[in-house]
Amino acid sequence: MSNDRWNAVDTYFTDHLAPADEALTAALEASDAAGLPQIAVAANQGKLLHLLALVQGARRILEIGTLGAYSTIWLARALPSDGQLVSLEYNPAHAEVARANLARAGLDKLVEVRVGAALDSLGALEAEGAGPFDLFFIDADKVNNPNYVEWAVKLSRPGSLIIVDNVVREGAVADTASEDPAVVATRRMVELVGEHPRLTATAVQTVGVRGYDGFLLARVQG
């Protein structure tokens, strides 16, 4: 089956179930204009994040990897008026675009974008006594995914959800001989989650406008 068919199906579902609006469209356009890589989640995947946050009843969300805040907008829209989303972004230029996009969407009061290496920001959050967070969305540099998951567990509560994006790597995750650092780290993360005494999880393969990939979904146990 061709990528064209995958894209057509994504477009069909998106048109009926996750249609674009002014803020989401503007966020993508501003990100493109600023030269950000076109790696934001697809619209139907953004809607999935939104629904997971709603089902979770999330009041506090931690996102690792902001980019232009497209996924951030989907997540923040699920928060109550007194909720909070903290998003960690390494690149200051990306953070500037993200903050403008969030302000345009009317979400800047609910979202804090922190700039710097995520591992440093996570340590700072722990030191501040931040959390626990109800939902985590991890979509940053893949080589640190095992570390990000460990931090998510530290900053969680029983029942928190952890979503890790881009775990299939076009099927390379199943290649035991791969030397790609992103694949090696993803395999380590999957194995860590599978063996972790406080996590229960699954992973789902996806195809569509973002190609062949997938995500991992974990729930923190008691």
* Residue 160: pLDDT over 90: yes
* Residue 101: pLDDT over 80: yes
**pLDDT given at position 216:** 98
**pLDDT given at position 186:** 98
What mean pLDDT value characterizes the chain? Answer: 96
More confident residue, 186 or 222: 186
Mean pLDDT of 66-72: 98
Q: Where are the domains of the chain?
A: 3-220
Q: φ and ψ at 11, to 5 degrees? A: -60, -40
Q: Which amino acid is at 181?
A: P
**pLDDT given at position 131:** 85
**pLDDT given at position 110:** 98
Q: Which amino acid is at 37?
A: P
Mean pLDDT of 64-78: 98
CA triple 122-97-211, angle to 5 deg: 80
**pLDDT given at position 222:** 82
* Residue 118: pLDDT over 80: yes
Predicted TM-score (pTM) of this structure: 0.96
- Number of C-alpha atoms within 13 angstroms, CB side, residue 202? 2
Q: How confident is the model at residue 141 (pLDDT cuts 50, 70, 90)?
A: very high
The long-range contacts involving 95-100, CB below 8 angstroms and separated by at least 24 positions, are 95/66, 97/30, 97/31, 97/34, 97/36, 97/68, 97/69, 98/66, 98/67, 98/68, 98/69, 98/72, 99/69, 100/30
- Number of C-alpha atoms within 13 angstroms, CB side, residue 57? 1
What is the DSSP-derived secondary structure letter of residue 42?
P
**pLDDT given at position 214:** 97
**pLDDT given at position 51:** 98
| CA atoms of 97 and 94, how far apart (whole Å) | 5
pLDDT in tens, 121-139: 999 999 999 989 999 999 9
Q: How confident is the model at residue 47 (pLDDT cuts 50, 70, 90)?
A: very high
Mean pLDDT of 188-210: 97
Q: Are 64 and 88 in contact (CB under 8 A)?
A: yes
**pLDDT given at position 1:** 54
ω into residue 146 within 30 of 0, thus cis? no
Superfamily, domain 3-220 = Vaccinia Virus protein VP39 (3.40.50.150)
Mean pLDDT of 83-96: 98
| CA atoms of 79 and 200, how far apart (whole Å) | 24
